[in-house]
Amino acid sequence: MLCSTYLTSGRDFSPPFLLFWTNPTMKMLLLLTAALSAALPASAAPPTCYSRVLALSREITASFQELQASEAADSCVGTLPRLYLDIHNYCVLAKLRDFVAYPGCDRVAEVNELKEKARSLYTILISYCRRDLVFLTDDCNALEIPISPPIEHSITES
């Protein structure tokens, strides 16, 4: 019906959807949009609460271990509470609170930066992701003595 109206009207113009293809700017915009969407990786989905919390906890744990291993670190770094984070353990909330509230090492920039990251993780855990996360345990001792990952041997070593 739509096409027959244009054909019988006697005028020389195209239906609106064909005008889109004849406009060079619109063609370019469509091609650009298609190219950008094809260039994005398939995993371009926004992070979930869980993935964000997991990544931040790993980042904090790694930064703390680097700070502890650093020879240039201030002597007060050795007095900081241990900071091994397992977001599946309910005690991680108390661990983060204790670390952020620890009064020592305020003069060390790396420690202050680490405390800010820990504060951010705590805020995410108790507010933004409060309903999304499930704690699998409440074993506070497990956060004091981290379980080392299993050592993987290659076939050539045996």
Q: What is the pLDDT of residues 57-111, one digit of tens each?
A: 999 999 998 888 887 677 888 888 888 888 888 889 999 999 999 887 888 888 8
- Would 120 be classed as within a structural domain? yes
Average pLDDT over residues 122-133: 84
What do you get for the CA distance between the two ends of the chain, in Å? 77
Distance (Å, whole) CA 38 – CA 74: 49
Closest CA to 77 of 49, 24, 114, 46: 114
- Would 113 be classed as within a structural domain? yes
Determine the structural domain holding residue 60 and report its residue range.
Answer: 49-141
pTM score, whole prediction? 0.61
pLDDT category at 36 given cuts 50, 70, 90 is: low
Q: Which residue has the tokens 């009207």?
A: 9
What is the residue-averaged pLDDT of the chain?
75
Distance (Å, whole) CA 45 – CA 48: 9
Overall domain count for the chain:
1
- Would 15 be classed as within a structural domain? no
